[in-house]
Amino acid sequence: MDGFFFTGEQLQLPQLRFSASSLQARHQDARKGLKLYGPYDALRLGKNKIRCALIYPKSLIDIKQTIVRGLTNGVEAFMGFQSLFRVPLEFIGEREIQNEDVCEVEKEIKATILYENPDIVIMTTTVRNELIYAKVKSLLLGNGIPSQVVTAEKLRNTKGLPWILENIALQIYAKIGGTPWTVMSSSPKGELVIGVSRAIDKRRNYIIGFITLFSYDGDYLLFYSLAPRPIEWQKLDEYRNALSQLIVDAYREYERYHGKPSSLVIHLCKRPGRFREIAAVEQALQEIGFDLPFALIHLNDDTNYRLFDTGHPTYVPQTGIKVDINPYTALLLLDGRVPDGTGQEVRRKRGVPKVLEVYMDKRSTFPLDEFPRLVQQVFEFARVNWRGFNAQTIPATLNYSYLVARLVSEIGIDDWNHIISAGALRDKAWFL
């Protein structure tokens, strides 16, 4: 039986940028780059300190102390918040509650907002409590304040404590509006990229989450991420209209600050429907009144394809292997072997590495010879994950848009409508 033969290539790991003003401040490793150069926006963050409030149950005073000491002074390999981000994290208020009760939590949050008005609030709980989590998020986000909910069971893992605190520090910096690092862009200046995903809430409504990134001076920057929409189950017209409005909103927001974008790329978490997504794009472009070149890209992280390297003892290929299935479809390996800085290659996960199936809808108006660049762009977005230094390598467009949708579904759409009307979170990665 004859075999099938496919062509492929090894994509180069993108360089991460750690300075908006210097091309020399770059590194392939996020942790090492931050230690060497500090964060990308260190010179333009606009804060001389980050003001943090902390709410904790009386029974978790030891966990509170671990957080304060660990983030301030560091633990072992983690040297503390200021060492990584070049700005001090100041604890301006520590509020103790007697019990993990929603009413008591609500009371202290309101007092924190009124008297401390912090940049961020850390809330500790014994275990994950959905009611407390939703209350913390909705109250604070409604006032433009991001939050970090930390469970005691996680911080009692003393062996992994330095890395846990390091990841908490990373999320805090991104949530208050900082840009820890970005990735050097292979795309033309002014290309607008929208990531769209969705979750289902308790009422069986779709929640469409989306984020917008754009290429600017050689880097990708997070731009806009604050307009999820509730869609009743299986009402396709509502889905199409909501997606169309998201595109229009993102376009107009970008145009207000940077002028007309050069092109539009939309990343979807599933294969575009026959009518819905294309109709939404066409409807949006008609409202915009501008003939903008666009590409619809499907990112499937649940494909049945697998890739193996028979020339390596682990059978795990290198990160960045791309295999062309046909002119419109490619497989991309995102969690393979990567250099560890000592001349060796490692993979920090176990199991068979998943691949990402990347498909460009044939109704896109981009020329077909642009598809390889769009696959490279997906690979670049997989290097921007501020949830953790060793977090799963998922393109930010797919990952962040899902986190937006999931968080809004957990908060509840009624509370979200109040939050969105405030509009104080646009430039913050509040969803991490």
pLDDT at 113: 87
For 118, the 3-state DSSP assignment is coil
Q: Does the predicted TM-score (pTM) go above 0.85?
A: yes
Give the HSE-up count for residue 332: Cα atoms under 13 Å, Cβ half-sphere: 30
d(CA 248, CA 242): 10
pLDDT digit of tens for each residue in the chain (432 aa)?
A: 455 677 888 888 888 999 988 889 999 889 999 999 999 998 888 889 999 999 999 999 999 999 999 999 999 989 999 999 999 999 998 999 998 888 898 899 899 888 888 999 999 999 888 888 888 888 898 888 999 999 998 888 777 899 999 999 999 999 998 999 998 887 877 888 888 887 777 777 777 777 888 777 667 777 665 556 556 555 667 778 878 888 888 888 888 888 888 889 999 876 555 557 778 888 888 888 778 898 999 998 888 888 888 888 788 888 888 999 999 999 998 887 776 666 667 776 677 787 899 999 988 999 999 999 999 999 998 888 898 887 667 888 888 888 888 888 888 777 776 666 555 676 788 888
d(CA 351, CA 316): 9
CA 329 to chain centre: 24
For 192, the 3-state DSSP assignment is strand
d(CA 414, CA 432): 21
d(CA 188, CA 427): 22
The residue to which tokens 């990229």 are assigned: 193
SS (H, E, C) 203-264: CCCEEEEEEEEEEECCEEEEEECCCCEEECCCCHHHHHHHHHHHHHHHHHHHHHHHCCCCEE
The C-alpha angle with vertex 79 and arms to 74 and 82, in degrees rounded to 5, equals 90
User: What would the two tokens of residue 218 be?
Assistant: 């050689």
Q: What are the distances in angstroms from CA 102 to CA 116, 120, 208, 408?
A: 20, 19, 28, 19
pLDDT at 1: 42
Give the relative orientation of helices 413-422 and 396-411 as an angle to the nearest 10 degrees. Answer: 110
Cβ atoms within 10 Å of 417's Cβ, excluding its own: 10
d(CA 171, CA 148): 8
d(CA 293, CA 285): 10
d(CA 21, CA 327): 38
